[in-house]
Structure 1
Amino acid sequence: MKNEVDISKKCLLTLEEAAGYTGIGINKLRALSNDEHCTWVLWNGTRRMIKRSKLEAYLDTAVARI
């Protein structure tokens, strides 16, 4: 039996998990996280992990600017 953690309780998400969690496409998340000033991505070698709480904060401010 696999131990699975609810996405809302994880601190780091894969691109696929972040896309499912936010409803934003994988390609859009990849493009946003390619920015060198992106504070919500953690690189583990070539694998990018999304910091869930920082992504949520970024989306809150991005939506407020619209």
Structure 2
Amino acid sequence: MSRKVTNIPEKFLLTFDEAASYFGIGENKLRNMASYGDTPDWVVHNGKRMLIKRVLFEEYLLKAETI
């Protein structure tokens, strides 16, 4: 079976590694942001894995003054 490769801007969910390279933010910084207090609305849990909802995270960054 061949696996279809999707470009990051077309993906709905991103791993922390993909998000770090796409947004230019360090992976540790993203993990820290995702673990502040309650789970942010731009994070989804898939079993033990945490994934980032790309569109919601983009909106979060557009509104943020500092990260």
TM-score, scaled relative to structure 2:
0.87
Kindly report the root-mean-square deviation, in angstroms, between the aligned alpha carbons of the 2 structures: 1.4
Query: In 1, Cα distance between the equivalents of 2:60 and 2:34?
Result: 11
Q: Percent identity?
A: 44
- Structure 1 stretches of at least 4 aligned residues deviating more than 6 Å after TM superposition: none
TM-score, scaled relative to structure 1:
0.89
Aligned to 2:53: 51
What's the CA shift string for 1:17-53, capped at 9, x where partnerless? 0001100000000000112141100011110000000
Aligned to 2:23: 22
Alignment: residue pair count: 64
**Which consecutive residues of structure 2, in runs of 5 or more, have no partner in the other structure?**
none
